[in-house]
Chain A
Amino acid sequence: MRILHVEDETLFRQALAGILRQQPDVGDLAEASCGREALTRFRAFRPNVTLVDLQLKNDPDSLDGEDVIRELLSDFPDARIIVVSRYFGVERVRWALDAGAQSFVPKGMEPRALFDVMRSVHAGTPLIPPQLLTRARAVPKEKWLTRKQYQVLLLLERGLTHEEIGDNLDPPIGSLGVKTHVREIYQRVNANNPHDAIINALEGREPL
């Protein structure tokens, strides 16, 4: 396996690198600590499995984990990406997979289980932690967020006001339009305030 690990927490990255290098089926390992670096490294290194931390920050171009995944898959549609994330609410998992990621693992996952996922992705039959799937399947189709609503929720999570959210959408909309989206989001995720909406759809901090 040629692995690219995109992770901005240095010690986590180094620790995982140390363990990965001990695995017999790990060939070469490349690392990137920010989104811009991830794109250039991918191009040069051509890994066959890529781990991307969804909570990536520290990027000069403000590329977060979701941006990196999207850009990689847009330039390299065959890229095999595993999302690593501290938060694994149903919508977050669903949209990562929808965007083309092969699997989604919580950041606290035991290395052994992580290797199983990596090997399965490399073999072309990606494993997804069963608890994540069970939770996702519990949501009826009509309750899923649309792409736009998911975007709005992500911006809400960043702490943006309705006006700022509207400015950050493509095409931009006014705060009234955002409020309408937000009301619909609450209805779908069983919330009546942004805190609960984010907890219900994005956080997923309960132990797996």
Chain B
Amino acid sequence: MAFNNEIRILIADEHPLVRQGIVAIISAQTDMDVVAETSKSDETVRYFAHYQPDLLLMELALPTVGSGVKAITAILAESPDARIAVLSRHEGIGAILIALTAGVKTYMFRTMDTSEVLEEIRLVHAGTPRLHPKVLANINSVPREDRLTHPECEILMMMDEGLSTKEIAKRLAPYIEEATVNMHVAQIFNKLQVDNYIGALRRGINGWTLCTTPARSGH
């Protein structure tokens, strides 16, 4: 039963166990209530419109790739004051920046402590979100001038969708040509210090770091 002062939360996550875990933890809070849960991005948009929750807690990486950002954009277009908190397995700067630019109030990693997630939910609800030091560290892991620009983040997300540069250019046309996309991709590789696509995704989106120590013995 929901009381007036409970934070009404909609949960969106594609992984059944993660979602189960989130629902259990939030339901156990006296000041929170789960109004609905979903694993799909289109349902997220529909449920948001229907339930009008106080807060949407969602995985950015909902299937299909790219649909998370689309859902965020769609919800904010309808409800500009919507409070969306991302809780994601993606820890890379590209994912963080694109979510924040899309208008989410905060970004959290799935590897954060439960107490930290709960505290941040309360802060978002109070209107004073605060990025966790680990998230800030990842944003600041590159000097400001090397930070991915918004077009670069968008292109990176499209690369994560599996689009070729040709397809990316088509999607961004008529504003951008294939040659320009290639230029952006080169810049992305440069900033992330990689020389291949998967590396760019692992570093830029997933947040995998360089292993700087030589291979350990045993192999």
Complex CA–CA separation, A63 to B16 (angstroms): 27
Residues of A within 8 A of B110 (CB): 9-12
Q: Which residue of B lies closest to A150 (CB)?
A: B219
Quote the shortest CB–CB distance from A144 to chain B (angstroms): 16
Residues of A within 8 A of B4 (CB): none
A193-B196 in contact (CB<8A): yes
Complex CA–CA separation, A140 to B1 (angstroms): 59
> Which among B47-55, B75-83, B200-208 touches the partner chain?
B200-208
CB of A194 closer than 8 Å to a CB of B: yes
B-contact bits for A139-183, CB 8 A (1 contact / 0 none): 000000001000100011111111010011110100000000000
Residues of A within 8 A of B24 (CB): 14-15, 18
Residues of B within 8 A of A157 (CB): 198-199, 202
How many interface contacts (CB-CB < 8 Å) are there between A and B? Answer: 125
CB of B122 closer than 8 Å to a CB of A: no
B111-A8 in contact (CB<8A): yes
Residues of A within 8 A of B196 (CB): 156, 159, 193-195
For the residues of B in contact with A, the DSSP-based class is loop
A9-B16 in contact (CB<8A): no
B-contact bits for A84-124, CB 8 A (1 contact / 0 none): 00000000000000000000000110110000000000000
Complex CA–CA separation, A111 to B202 (angstroms): 27
Q: Please pick, from A67, A111, A158, A170, the residue contacting B17 in the complex, using a CB distance under 8 A.
A: A111
CB of B89 closer than 8 Å to a CB of A: yes
B113-A10 in contact (CB<8A): yes
CB of B25 closer than 8 Å to a CB of A: yes
CB of A58 closer than 8 Å to a CB of B: yes
Complex CA–CA separation, A170 to B27 (angstroms): 50
Complex CA–CA separation, A14 to B25 (angstroms): 9
Residues of B within 8 A of A9 (CB): 18, 89, 110-111
Q: Which residue of A lies closest to B204 (CB)?
A: A159
> Which among B141-149, B169-177, B209-217 touches the partner chain?
B209-217
Q: Which residue of A lies closest to B22 (CB)?
A: A11
Residues of B within 8 A of A74 (CB): 218
Q: Please pick, from A10, A12, A162, A164, the residue contacting B15 in the complex, using a CB distance under 8 A.
A: A12
Q: Please pick, from B111, B114, B117, B212, the residue contacting A62 in the complex, using a CB distance under 8 A.
A: B212
Q: Please pick, from B16, B18, B117, B209, the residue contacting A57 in the complex, using a CB distance under 8 A.
A: B209
A194-B213 in contact (CB<8A): no
Residues of B within 8 A of A67 (CB): 216
Nearest first, the 6 closest Cβ-Cβ pairs linking A and B are A159-B199, A15-B21, A159-B194, A194-B196, A11-B21, A9-B110
27 A-B pairs in the complex with CB atoms less than 8 angstroms apart: A9-B110, A9-B111, A10-B110, A10-B112, A10-B117, A12-B18, A14-B24, A15-B17, A15-B22, A16-B17, A16-B21, A19-B20, A33-B111, A57-B207, A57-B209, A108-B15, A156-B199, A158-B203, A159-B200, A159-B210, A162-B195, A164-B210, A170-B214, A170-B216, A172-B214, A194-B197, A199-B198
Contacts from A to B (Cβ < 8 Å)? 8-12, 14-16, 18-19, 33, 57-58, 62, 64, 67, 70-71, 74, 107-108, 110-111, 147, 151, 155-162, 164, 167-170, 172, 193-195, 198-199
16 more A-B contacts (CB under 8 A) besides A15-B21, A33-B111, A159-B196? A9-B89, A12-B15, A14-B21, A14-B114, A15-B20, A15-B22, A15-B24, A57-B91, A62-B211, A62-B213, A110-B16, A156-B196, A157-B198, A158-B208, A161-B193, A195-B196
